[in-house]
């Protein structure tokens, strides 16, 4: 992107423990993200004016999607906000929009391309906006795991289920092999369906969502679940372990939600009497067990909105959303679950300079950073997505 580089400028009132993008790496996450350079302040009036002008010039030809975890400076230009699947469906429902500018991460833009028409073009303002969880399940690794199951005679009895937070390649693999996609809010329905089709599930790529759903919602035991590590021969498991398992969990996790610990929960309960702990099901099993309520991003938002004035909430999800909820509900005490706060580093790659650049290029007739999924992958991914939409209660 010519003339624009990106790093994070620390917002005011943010604890010094905040990881500054481009100024270090976080050993608690799967990998660090380097973002050299400096950003103008989020309130830079020139950038705000330029984004406003470019969006107005494009009119109905552009539709801007903003994921809940995006920065406020970006969210202000979104036509719709929501979780990844809701946003992809919103894009598909607006065929008149030639350009879908997805302020999110790569797998989300892929889903939008799969669900929209060939006449629509999906743009991701920064191609470096990826997802560490999605990256933890690469297609060759999953195909190797399937080969292991096939050699043991287990593949024909196993149904692959992938979380929405996965690449188009993985969704395509699942569609080719009779599986289904799920979200954090319909994971149980997807797993109920899968166990009607087979005896076992290979759950990709988030181990925590799979484990929490199986154990806390479906009555499985932890012994029914095994963890498949793609970096070890046979996933680090014996043939007997794979044969006995009901749920084969992929060794993947969300680098933000995986930060929350049981100590975080115990600490906030000591500090804030009567606090309600509300967490996302991508959190570790012991965190979810210790929480008062668990649910998807949309569930978290609805719960906070419906909460009585004066109530206290410690929320275990991405910090941009928690800060936005706190500002929107000053009559409630809303805090981040962990003392050492951290934004989703890759989600924050989408900043105002990148958005301005993408919009102004579209005004000039140039489509930058277009996200496309090849026809075969898109077809099979759509099969898995359609199966999700056909689930009872969907």
- Residue 280 is labelled as binding a ligand: yes
* Cβ count within 10 A of residue 332: 18
184 is in an annotated binding site: yes
199 is in an annotated binding site: no
Closest CA to 8 of 34, 31, 29: 34
43 is in an annotated binding site: no
Tell me if 347 is assigned to a ligand binding site: no
Extract the runs of DSSP E, i.e. beta strands, from 2-67: 62-67
| CA angle in degrees (0–180, nearest 5) for 348-204-35 | 20
**343 known member of a binding site:** no
> DSSP string covering 152-188, please?
TT-GGGEEEEEESSS-HHHHHHHHHTT-EEE-TTTHH
Surface-to-core class of residue 353, CB atoms within 10 Å of its CB (0-12 exposed, 13-18 middle, 19+ buried): buried
Q: Write down the H helix ranges in the chain.
A: 45-58, 72-75, 84-92, 106-115, 132-135, 139-151, 168-176, 187-197, 207-212, 239-244, 262-271, 285-290, 297-306, 319-328, 352-363, 375-389
344 annotated ligand-binding residue = yes
Tell me the C-alpha distance between 197 and 360, whole Å.
49
Q: Quick one: which H or E segment has residue 312?
A: strand 312-316
283 marked as part of a ligand binding site: no
On whether 133 is known to bind a ligand per the annotation, the reply is no
Is 281 annotated in a binding site? The answer is: yes
1 labelled binding-site residue = no
Strands 62-67 and 200-204: unpaired
Query: Is 67 annotated for ligand binding?
Result: yes
Judge contact between 376 and 128, C-beta under 8 A. Answer: no
Q: Is 253 annotated as a binding residue?
A: no
What would the 3-class secondary structure string for 69-132 be?
Answer: CCCHHHHCCCCEEECHHHHHHHHHCCCCCCEEEEECCHHHHHHHHHHCCCCCEEECCCCCCCCH
Residues comprising the binding site for iminosuccinate? Answer: 67, 84, 163-165, 184, 280-282, 297
Residues comprising the binding site for [4Fe-4S] cluster? Answer: 131, 254, 344
Residues comprising the binding site? Answer: 67, 84, 131, 163-165, 184, 254, 280-282, 297, 344
């Amino acid at each position: 992107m010519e003339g624009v580089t990106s790093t994070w400028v620390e917002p005011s009132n943010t604890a010094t423990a905040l990881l500054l993008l481009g100024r270090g790496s976080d050993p608690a996450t799967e990998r660090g993200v380097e973002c050299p350079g400096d950003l103008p302040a989020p309130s830079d009036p020139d950038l705000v004016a330029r984004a406003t002008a470019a969006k107005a010039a494009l009119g109905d030809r552009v539709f801007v999607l903003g994921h809940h975890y995006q920065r406020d400076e970006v969210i202000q230009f979104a036509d719709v906000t929501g979780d990844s699947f809701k946003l992809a469906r919103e894009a598909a429902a607006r065929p008149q929009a030639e350009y879908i500018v997805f302020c999110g991460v790569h797998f989300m833009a892929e889903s939008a391309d799969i669900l929209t028409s060939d006449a629509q073009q999906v743009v991701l303002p920064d191609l470096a906006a990826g997802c560490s969880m999605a990256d933890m399940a690469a297609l060759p690794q999953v195909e190797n795991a399937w080969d292991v199951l096939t050699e043991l005679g287990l593949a024909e009895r196993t149904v692959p289920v992938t979380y929405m937070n996965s690449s188009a390649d993985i969704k395509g693999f699942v569609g080719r092999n009779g599986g289904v996609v799920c979200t954090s809010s319909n994971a149980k329905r997807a797993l109920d369906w899968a166990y009607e089709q087979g005896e076992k599930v290979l759950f990709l790529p988030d181990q925590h969502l799979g484990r929490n759903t199986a154990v806390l919602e479906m009555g499985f035991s932890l012994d029914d679940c095994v963890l498949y590590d793609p970096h070890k021969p046979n996933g680090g498991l014996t043939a007997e372990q794979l044969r006995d398992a009901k749920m084969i969990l992929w060794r993947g996790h969300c680098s933000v939600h995986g930060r929350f610990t049981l100590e975080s929960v115990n600490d906030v309960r000591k500090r804030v009497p009567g606090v309600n702990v509300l967490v996302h099901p991508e959190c570790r099993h012991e965190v979810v067990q210790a929480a008062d309520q668990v649910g998807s991003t949309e569930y978290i938002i609805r719960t906070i909105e419906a909460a009585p004035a004066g109530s206290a909430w410690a929320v275990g999800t991405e910090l941009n959303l928690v800060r936005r909820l706190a500002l929107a509900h000053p009559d409630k005490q809303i805090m981040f679950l962990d003392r050492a706060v951290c934004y989703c580093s890759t989600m924050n790659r989408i900043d105002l300079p990148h958005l301005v650049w993408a919009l102004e290029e579209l005004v000039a007739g140039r489509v930058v950073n277009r996200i496309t999924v090849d026809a075969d992958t898109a077809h099979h991914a759509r099969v898995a997505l359609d199966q999700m939409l056909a689930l009872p209660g969907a």
